[in-house]
Amino acid sequence: MSLEQITISAILFFLIATLYSSVGHAGASGYLAVMSFMSFSSVIIKPTSLILNILVSLVASYKYISAKYYKWEIFWPFAITSMPFAFIGGYLNIDEKIFKIIAGIFLIISSILLILRRYIIKNSNNIKKMPKLAALIIGAAIGFFSGIIGVGGGIFLSPILILLCWSSAREASGVAAIFILLNSITALLGKIYAVGEIPALLLGFSVPSVVIGGIIGATLGTKVIDKNAILTILSIILILAGIKMLVSIF
């Protein structure tokens, strides 16, 4: 891995962290997209994505909690099952080809979910009571799948909360930020043996990039801004990266 690759990756990570944190996410799917375009190995992709995810979601969680865009009663039913399943998913060591298939499909689905979120945000004012059993089951499924590919799962959680009218858009962002933080930590603990595979130089450049991007994006996200353009840009990036990852298999 050359210094040029690492520098380009760090710049792209900064942009991803800024965009994602502005809508309550930590950017794992974006980091996957960048590392897919840069043809990184899955051994590097998974732990790197989780570490960067933890840093950005930590910043985003602080910002959204401070702005009071967070509800414990919505958060805990998802988190209580997602965390142990994220650990299990993180612990599993899957074949490189299978990883690329799963990650490629994930990126394409994530793109679709962001597009859905763009059109359903306006319909989230009529908040309904959330069934706890449904939340427990959904949390477990998101946690396991997220742990396998190295993401926090917020990109699935927030559209579900909004689509089913269980939360407002901003509260969904706050809940998703903390959900991503805890899932990423537990998934990384499951994959902790692989952390030594991450080039120190990559983290040295990437960590400050995503922290700064996370602070900027989360600050913007707690203000009144139009997020449609951001969601559209992210959707395009994800679907292209997903296609590229699937094509690379052949």
Please state which of the ranges 23-27, 98-102, 168-172 shows the lowest mean pLDDT: 23-27
Residue 239: name the closest of 29, 39, 97 by CA: 29
CA quadruple 62, 144, 87, 38: dihedral positive or negative? Answer: negative
Distances 33 to 5, 108, 154, 165 between C-alpha atoms, Å: 14, 10, 16, 29
Share of the chain above pLDDT 90, in %: 15
pTM for the whole thing?
0.79
What is the DSSP code (8-state) at residue 122?
G
The percentage of residues in the chain with a pLDDT greater than 70, rounded to a whole number, is 88
Q: Give residue limits of the domains in the chain.
A: 3-248
